[in-house]
Amino acid sequence: MAASAAFTSPLAGELAEDVLERLVRYARIDTQGEHRAAARPSTPKQLDLSRLLVDELLELGLEDARLTGDSNVFASLPGAEGAPVLGLIAHVDTTPDVTGAGVSPIVHRAWDGSAIRLPGDPRQVLDPERLPELAARVGHDLVTSDGTTLLGADDKAGIAEIMSAVSYLVRHPERPRAPLRVAFTVDEEVGRGAEDFDLEEFGADVAYTLDGSGLGELEVETFSASSIRVTIRGLSVHPGTAKGKLVNAVKLAAQLIDALPADRLSPETTEGREGYVHPHRVAGNAEETVVDFIARDHDDALLAQHVALLRGLVDEAAAREPRAAFDVEVRDSYRNMRPHIERHPRVVEAALEAIRRAGVEPKLAITRGGTDGAVLSARGLPTPNVFTGGQEYHSVREWASVQDMAAAAATIVHLAEVWAEPA
């Protein structure tokens, strides 16, 4: 077998196997969340991983590690006196959109560049000709699922990297480091990860989420986001006697979705800073059907226009079929963190320096999504998002590079180092 690709630094090479072992182990724990559940966490199984992480942190010597009343894992690692307190954050939940039960991680050592057919579902193929990020990682050790589930690198890669870095810092007390606060949240994927986050108890001066993707990226800008639920109430009648009576909510929902622009304002037709309106869940019957949409944009004014567009389409549908009832509920999820991050230039400069020390050329990036950091930044804790090495998130074709994950773990160690140094 060919040798695996080189790591970005000796430290990354030292951390790699621990990061890999942790990702594989954490990925097997089902932590899938649920949209619009009233409970917190939205699914109790998320706490299976949270409790395990508390136990592992205690074993590492972080004596205050605990599961808080609002379902966050908090823990501390002392550091240089007088240095800013550095927060490290990742989330335990995985997306509700793709199953996370029965994950079977596969490690592809020293990948040779050929297409990867996932054995659980041979229709699922990772083709480097269609995936430029994958094509750039010939020789890397890759982790995938078997093609029947997501992998869960979003955000278990981030968790593994934080845990590996903390373990390393515990074993190497001679390395300069800032005091650390570690947090693992629930329900980030349903927009509630920072809902009850106690900033005062957390006690960090600056923080970073480990929830990004591509090697070397530091995300300082997120979407602003709203979720919109449209409830359509029709009239169900036995189909044998339905002529002139039936008002089919399912058909009305289909017509509403079909009225969305076909060539713009959708995830499949946009990129960069372009926003979208995305129907992601439909449930119901002829009597009542619910359609859940998410609206996203990096510009708050444009986001408001997207929501207004959907409201207008609902009004038009209601006018066409006055016998039906249409209800629209809009919830704000989070706002672009960029203006909050811009007020704290050192939080960006320190991360870029830490990435360099990990042997990677850093690059500022935007994310076409959101993070716990967007909410926390708006609440006063500047929290950019650091890469993890995972790719193709929210998909059965999700994959991660061990070399990139190791670089992220090394970046965390260097972050602790940088924040221990004078400003």
Annotated catalytic sites, by residue? 93, 188
Distance of alpha carbon 347 from alpha carbon 206, whole angstroms:
7
The alpha carbon torsion through 130, 136, 141, 144 (nearest 10 deg) reads: -20
Distance of alpha carbon 370 from alpha carbon 66, whole angstroms:
26
Pairing of strands 142-144, 125-126: unpaired
Decide: residue 267, CB within 10 A, 0-12 exposed, 13-18 middle, 19+ buried: middle
Q: Phi and psi of 143, rounded to 5°?
A: -120, 130
Distance of alpha carbon 279 from alpha carbon 253, whole angstroms:
10
Q: How many other C-beta atoms are found inside a 10 Å radius of the C-beta of residue 126?
A: 22
User: Which helix (H) or strand (E) element contains residue 319?
Assistant: helix 300-320
Give strand pairing partners of 224: 297
Distance of alpha carbon 226 from alpha carbon 309, whole angstroms:
13
Among residues 33, 72, 30, 79, which one has the least CA distance to residue 53?
72
